């Protein structure tokens, strides 16, 4: 049968051949078109008495309700269903595509997943009902995706939050597609994906905008995927190769484009790359543009310091997680923690990629008045459990040594560093000749936000407790997860796959060869290397692994009678050559080609900066570990690490304990 429909078509088959269902329009009716509605389609689908059904899809999605009904109708049908993604399977159309026993995607097709959205009119109660309904729809969609690809809910939700567009290979790698077919010659799409609210649609399927004065090469850089960016920069790489050697412009180009896009000056990216500027130099250029007023400072993605007044001491992370659970399971939640979450939501920019969790403050401002003490007035009242940031500082080896945590950052940030100094010249009175001129020269160090996430587990019974001890355990557990991650990145981050670059890879860090078990003299050489750069000021000290600390506790300064051990004091509070020393397992004990070298770092730790953007968001998953009675807690944050001066640090090479 072939119903007289403009927007979809079912073709019944000859005996033994598959029936065909063509979905080449948006799902559901709207003011402008009938679309593919479930009411008629599902009724006719149920009448098909066939062994096989081929579903062909080229749709931007649409109504979630209609889409789920079509998906369920295909799932229920006794026929073997094969879904072919001919052009686009976006939004709820991506759900319909997964109804097939087998999913085949054309090599030049696209697959997109994102969060459901909708409109509501009315008072705050109606708005909350809509939000709850959208969460329920999202959970239903996540269930379909998880059934097909086998990924954890948190990973799927993160991809939906980000409005993830995939080509055939990416969709197959994600687990959505079983087979990739050859390219299809697709007709121009009649639907406007930009008008549908998609924020990250590839330029190839977006209806052309009015002409602009932006250079064509810059447009290619800012709208194309990373692979295209690398193609565009090949010419710069080839032209500069004789002069720059092994410098990799392709990796730098990706970082530069990201910095420019997040700073509101995407049209400058091509010029910066063509000029062979480094990301650090681009950071300084962007700051100059801010200061000159040529571009506006980007909207802050910083977690606001929330003023709770006298309520600050009553804020509970345990109750915040419990509220996050209520919201995740579709129930109403209230209380101080929910009020603070809503306050943070108001202060976050529209382009902040929320994950659907609850926002928690890392810092809490309390402006209650005190009546005693030397500085009577607005003072911070003691908070019973301690701030999240303060707990982090106590747990991280780098911050214990004096590294700085910078919160509330806005966009990429560049720190100037002096690379050359003026020269002081002595001269006689009325010497009759001019002194030689000299200028101070500066460089810059740039930090850009990089997303990290961590996952742990808590029991339902634990989060409903309200004792200070339990609250402390929960705060410490959350802080520990992030402290370990940030600390490790600050020390050994690779600078690849969106990781920060740690001290062991930072440019300019002094390298001192140990040649085996460190001697007192070699450790002194590490401090001397810094002293030669006039950097032996601030919070100086040694940081190493406990294995190395234990070895140095048993190694004499000199062979003479009465000599002290190199390391005096404890693993946590030691002294080496008069400097503070601390041991942590965050410092690697598996460096070098033989994985038997142990890291040792010495430096002015005040020059190490750990920057943070965005609110700390907690996503509570009550399903993944439900059989164990546990809640899976996933936390998201944006951070970066930078050494203001590499010369402020020394690293040991070839250090061993035997």
Residue 114 among the catalytic residues:
yes
Residue with tokens 């239903």: 140
CA pair distance 592, 600, nearest whole angstrom: 13
- Catalytic choice (63, 94, 114, 650): 114
Rounded Cα distance between 586 and 545, Å, is 7
Question: Which tokens sit at 385?
Answer: 């459990």
Angstrom distances, CA of residue 269 to CA of 204, 241, 283, 444, 544: 20, 20, 11, 18, 40
In order, the DSSP letters of 208-249 are P----SS-HHHHHHHHS-HHHHHHHHHHHHHHHHHHHTT--H
Secondary structure letter of residue 607 according to DSSP: G
d(CA 238, CA 406): 39
HSE-CB at 533 with a 13 A cutoff on CA atoms is 19
- Alpha helices (H) in 515-619, listed in sequence order: 520-531, 546-553
Of the residues 59, 63, 91, 588, only one is catalytic, namely 91
Phi-psi sector, 309: left (phi>0), alpha (psi -120 to 50), beta: left
Residue 316 φ/ψ, nearest 5 degrees: -125, 125
Does the active-site annotation cover 13? no
- 111 closest CA partner among 136, 137, 134, 83: 83
Q: How far apart are CA 411 and CA 448, in angstroms?
A: 7
**CA distance linking residue 401 with residue 543, whole number of Å:** 8
C-alpha count within 13 angstroms, C-beta hemisphere, residue 614: 23
Which parts of 439-519 fold into alpha helices (H)?
460-463, 468-492
What is the distance in angstroms between the CA of the first residue and the CA of the last residue of the chain?
82
The whole-angstrom separation of Cα 205 and Cα 192 is 8
The residue among 18, 22, 17 whose CA lies nearest residue 2 is: 22
Q: How many residues does the chain have?
A: 658
Active site residues: 91, 114
């Amino acid at each position: 049968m072939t119903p007289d429909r403009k927007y979809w078509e079912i073709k019944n088959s000859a005996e033994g051949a598959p029936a065909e269902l063509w979905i080449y329009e948006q799902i559901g009716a709207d003011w402008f078109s009938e679309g593919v509605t479930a009411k008629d389609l599902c009724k006719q689908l149920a009448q098909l008495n066939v062994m096989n059904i081929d579903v062909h899809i080229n749709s931007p999605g649409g109504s979630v309700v209609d889409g789920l009904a079509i998906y369920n109708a295909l799932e229920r049908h006794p026929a073997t269903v094969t879904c072919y993604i001919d052009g686009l399977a976006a939004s709820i159309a991506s759900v319909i595509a997964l109804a097939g026993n087998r999913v085949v995607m054309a090599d030049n097709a696209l697959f997109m997943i994102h969060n459901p959205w909708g409109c509501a009119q009315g008072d705050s109660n109606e708005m909350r009902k809509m939000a709850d309904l959208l969460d329920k729809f999202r959970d239903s969609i996540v269930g379909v995706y998880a059934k097909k690809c086998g990924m954890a809910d948190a990973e799927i939700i993160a991809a939906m939050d980000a409005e993830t567009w995939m080509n055939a290979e990416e969709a197959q790698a994600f687990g959505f597609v079983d087979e990739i077919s050859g390219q299809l010659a697709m007709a121009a799409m009649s639907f406007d994906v930009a008008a549908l609210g998609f924020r990250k649609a590839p330029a190839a399927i977006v209806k052309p905008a009015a002409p602009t004065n932006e250079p064509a090469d810059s447009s290619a850089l800012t709208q194309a995927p990373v692979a295209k960016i690398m193609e565009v920069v090949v010419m710069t790489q080839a032209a500069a190769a004789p002069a720059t050697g092994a410098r990799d412009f392709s990796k730098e180009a990706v970082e530069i484009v990201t910095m420019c896009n997040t700073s509101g000056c995407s049209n400058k990216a091509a010029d910066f790359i063509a000029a062979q500027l480094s990301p650090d130099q681009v950071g300084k250029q962007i700051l100059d543009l801010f200061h000159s007023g040529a571009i506006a400072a980007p909207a802050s993605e910083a977690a606001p310091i929330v003023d709770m007044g006298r309520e600050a001491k009553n804020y509970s992370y345990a109750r915040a997680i419990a509220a996050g659970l209520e919201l995740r399971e579709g129930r109403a939640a209230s209380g101080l923690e929910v009020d603070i979450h809503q306050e943070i939501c108001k202060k976050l920019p529209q382009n902040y990629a929320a994950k659907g969790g609850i926002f928690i403050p890392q810092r809490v401002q309390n402006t209650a008045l005190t009546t005693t003490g030397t500085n009577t007035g607005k003072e911070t009242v003691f908070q019973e459990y301690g701030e999240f940031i303060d707990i982090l500082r106590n747990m991280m080896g780098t911050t214990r040594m004096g590294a700085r945590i910078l919160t509330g950052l806005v966009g990429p940030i560049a720190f100037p560093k002096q690379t050359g100094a003026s020269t002081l010249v002595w001269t006689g009175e009325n010497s009759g000749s001019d002194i030689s001129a000299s200028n101070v020269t500066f460089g810059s160090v740039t930090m850009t936000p990089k997303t990290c996430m961590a996952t742990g587990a808590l029991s339902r019974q634990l989060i409903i407790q309200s004792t200070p001890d339990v609250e402390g355990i929960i705060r410490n557990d959350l802080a520990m997860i992030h402290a370990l991650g940030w600390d490790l990145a600050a020390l050994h981050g690779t600078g690849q796959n969106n990781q920060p670059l740690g001290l062991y890879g930072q440019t300019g860090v002094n390298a001192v060869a140990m040649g085996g078990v460190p001697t007192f003299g070699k450790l002194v050489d590490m401090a001397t290397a810094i002293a030669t750069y006039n950097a032996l000021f601030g919070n100086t000290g040694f940081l190493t692994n406990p294995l190395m600390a234990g070895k140095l506790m048993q190694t004499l300064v000199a062979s003479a009678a009465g000599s002290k051990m190199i390391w005096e004091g404890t693993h946590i509070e030691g002294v080496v050559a008069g400097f503070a020393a601390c041991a942590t397992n965050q410092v690697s004990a598996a460096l070098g080609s033989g994985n038997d070298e142990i890291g040792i770092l010495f430096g002015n730790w005040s020059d190490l900066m750990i920057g943070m953007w965005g609110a700390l968001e907690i996503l509570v998953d009550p399903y993944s570990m439900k059989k164990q009675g546990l809640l899976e807690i996933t936390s998201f944050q944006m951070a970066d690490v930078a050494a203001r001066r590499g010369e402020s640090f020394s690293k040991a090479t070839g250090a061993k304990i035997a």
